[in-house]
Structure 1
Amino acid sequence: MLHGKNVIAWTPYGRRDTYSILIQYLKRDVERGIVDEVWAYMNTDPIGQEDDIAYAHQLDAQYDWFRIVTMPDGVSRRPGPKQRNTGFAYRYMLDPNTVYLRFDDDIVYIHEDAITNLVEKRLEMPHATAVFATTWNNAIVSWFGQQAGVIPKEFGEVGPFCMDPMGWANGQFAVDIHRLLLDHVEKGTVEELYMYQDFPIRPGTQFSVSCFASQGSLYASLPHGPGVLVPDEEEHWHTVHQPQVTGQPNILIGNAIVSHYTFFPQRGIVCGTDILDRYRALADRL
């Protein structure tokens, strides 16, 4: 627990290759008493992802703090991209005494102070729908990082847009910023990349939801039913719809660094480098 609140880290789960890195950081923070439970919300295909599914069940058998969560009763899979189905997970997130931390399954680094700082800011800022970590390889975060001088503009200038052509789609830009972060992690100087201030995100601004903190009290009192997001696509609901309903901005905090591996337009270039191997080596040394 932190500040009298339970902390549950959850992930729309699908990919063993990157989640096997993420789980080592979550295990570290469970053992430090920062995280109480870890949930894997299964967003897998029964055919073709047998190894991914087996790995989740292996973790479930191995750790008493790990829980597999499946699609709620009474809902059916949406056609199209898998992320259309992750919004149903919030029907489980109804405890007002719990802070829920969402991590993409390809978050491959969590700074040792990130979860504590994220939860503390979440509790300090109850007006925001979501409080976002400084997620490395997130276009809007990269834009803020360039304004703050922690990401060089020589890598390519990023605009303040969720799917900016440089910050979201350019593979070489992703490689450059990952190597910048990895060099700081390996030298023990990650704090030099802190932005040391928090940034309000204008209501209605789409923002990649790779890592954020929310509270069960938000979902328990929704007008269409407990945990029922309308519209049900979670990124749109958290970053566009709900902030416009409340008139309150979401918040990006500058001292909670995590790293997101890749967006699909970047994937071909990023996966052809040693980036993932370097992240795995760091996780293996925890």
Structure 2
Amino acid sequence: MTPVILVTFAGRQTRMEILTQYIRRALDQGIIDEWHIWDFTRSADDHAWVTREFGPARYMGSKVPYQSAGTVSASASFRTSARIRHDLHIAVIPNDRPHECYEIVAGGWKNTHSVLRTISRDQLAHFERSTEQTVWSKPTPGILSPGRPNDVILSVDPAGAPILRINDVTIGTWPELDLSAGGTVQIRGGWGADLELGDVDARTRRYIGNPNEHLPYYQAYEYYATRFDEFRDAVFLKCDDDIVYLDIDKLDGFIQFRRANPHYFVVSANVVNNGVCAYLQQEAGSISSSVGDFERPPGGFGGTLWESAERAAKLHAYFLGEHGRTLALPQPVIDWTERQSINFIAWLGRDLLHMALPQGDDEHALTIGVPTFLGRPSAIYSDFTVSHLSFGPQERGWDPTPLIKAYEALMRSRLFPETEKPALRAAI
């Protein structure tokens, strides 16, 4: 099987809600098999939206605080499959005492000891432990296996005492605690140990990178590269969270082209509001000079479109006026050896061999660094169009709300034509 996996670095709610509608339709149609949402949000509101919208976390970096994972009661155990080397943290909040919290650390201290302690609710949000009270401690050498996912079962006996078993070994039973009313369960890694939950296997999966890192995206590439055997046969798509139009009828053709042309390192969609694509679109006569003159960005990076909100707005208005018509390139496929923006690209799982990227500029690495080293070109595919809302420099002093509303109208006219009759020009 060669699954198709879309990766999106999330996420700004106001920018991502339109994309969500397109991708869910692609999932429903079987064009995409999995959508991996990497939570690199920068605000609490956006994190809360991503959590609500995309459900339980599949993966958490070692610096990610507790995340909701389920419930436990006398009638239903909490079960999970945890890939972690050490320091598995499980927090339980009793339903009848919501201000209390118990924390179990299994395989702490480099997989040598386990403890049960009481902590305050606010300590769920950080790693500092200065006011906790240790209830129980026990040597548990080698309790967590690094070679396979660990089977974790937290249950409650008839008297209300919690019991923790890992890999068929009872870690502890605590009759001094009362969970007869059940409780909610949260989970995390920590102290250098990332955590992956194998039972979170929905088609849409949430991955949480370590917070507050500059240029954090290397974490996603490292995740896939270190799981090469699992993903070697996949086709990967990667798109920005502010893709506001996607020609869903042409998406499968883009994927099939990517599959059939393994000599390209990455293949880009034909992107509206992308400096290289705008230059090529105008070269082909797809953009009138009345919209503006779009030069070839020096070395494929930057340029007047990249830095100008006014030029971006005019280009978006032109595309919306064309009602999503493809702005064709000079040829069906353009070989490209300079840098280009990676707003929507595809690569093959076999190339994860070369994608353990260091922290830094992933765009340069994927379109210049690695392809140059390997002596392989990249490409831009003309017949699959997406629209990218904005680059950072374009957002200075610019309110894109009218454009977002217009793209929402275009999305509804494409995906839900029986219920919507948008007036695109009036919305701009």
State whether residues 85 and 233 of structure 1, in contact with CA within 8 Å, keep that contact through their aligned partners in structure 2: no
Q: What corresponds to 2:21 in structure 1?
A: 24
State whether residues 54 and 206 of structure 2, in contact with CA within 8 Å, keep that contact through their aligned partners in structure 1: yes
State whether residues 114 and 258 of structure 1, in contact with CA within 8 Å, keep that contact through their aligned partners in structure 2: no
Of the candidates 324, 342, 356, which is equivalent to residue 209 of structure 1? Answer: 342
Of the candidates 352, 370, 379, which is equivalent to residue 251 of structure 1? Answer: 379
Q: Please state if 1:200 is matched with 2:338.
A: no
State whether residues 294 and 305 of structure 2, in contact with CA within 8 Å, keep that contact through their aligned partners in structure 1: yes
Q: Which moved more, 1:89-98 or 1:141-150?
A: 89-98
Instruction: Output one character per residue of 1:33-90: Cα deviation in whole Å (capped at 9) or x when no partner.
Output: 1011111111123xxx122111111222399321111237xxx8644xxxx2112211
Q: Name the CA distance, whole Å, in 2 between partners of 1:273 and 1:174.
A: 14
**Equivalent residue pairs, number:** 262
Q: What corresponds to 2:319 in structure 1?
A: 181
Shift of 1:282: 2.5
Q: What corresponds to 2:166 in structure 1?
A: none
Shift of 1:32: 0.8
Amino acid at match of 2:317: R
Of the candidates 54, 64, 69, which is equivalent to residue 60 of structure 1? Answer: 54
Q: Name the CA distance, whole Å, in 2 between partners of 1:272 and 1:246.
A: 39
SS in 1 for 2:278: helix
Q: Name the CA distance, whole Å, in 1 between partners of 2:383 and 2:362.
A: 24
Instruction: Output one character per residue of 1:93-115: Cα deviation in whole Å (capped at 9) or x when no partner.
Output: 33122111111011111002342
Q: Name the CA distance, whole Å, in 2 between partners of 1:71 and 1:50.
A: 14
State whether residues 101 and 211 of structure 1, in contact with CA within 8 Å, keep that contact through their aligned partners in structure 2: yes
Where in structure 1 are there 5+ consecutive unaligned residues? none
Where in structure 2 are there 5+ consecutive unaligned residues? 57-200, 416-428
Shift of 1:135: 0.9
Which of the pair is proportionally richer in strand? 2
Q: What corresponds to 2:100 in structure 1?
A: none
Distance 1:272 1:218, change over 3 A: closer
Q: What corresponds to 1:130 in structure 2?
A: 266
Shift of 1:272: 5.2
Q: Name the CA distance, whole Å, in 1 between partners of 2:217 and 2:359.
A: 12
Q: Name the CA distance, whole Å, in 2 between partners of 1:17 and 1:110.
A: 17
Distance 1:77 1:114, change over 3 A: farther
Q: Name the CA distance, whole Å, in 2 between partners of 1:269 and 1:198.
A: 36
Of the candidates 241, 264, 276, which is equivalent to residue 105 of structure 1? Answer: 241
Distance 1:273 1:176, change over 3 A: farther
Q: Which has the larger radius of gyration?
A: 2
Greater RCO structure (CA 8 Å; 6+ sep): 1
Of the candidates 200, 213, 220, which is equivalent to residue 89 of structure 1? Answer: 220
SS in 1 for 2:335: strand
What percentage of residue pairs aligned between the two structures are identical? 26
Shift of 1:31: 0.8
Q: CA RMSD in A?
A: 2.2
Q: TM-score, normalised by structure 2?
A: 0.57
Q: Please state if 1:264 is matched with 2:392.
A: yes
Q: Please state if 1:119 is matched with 2:255.
A: yes
SS in 2 for 1:240: helix
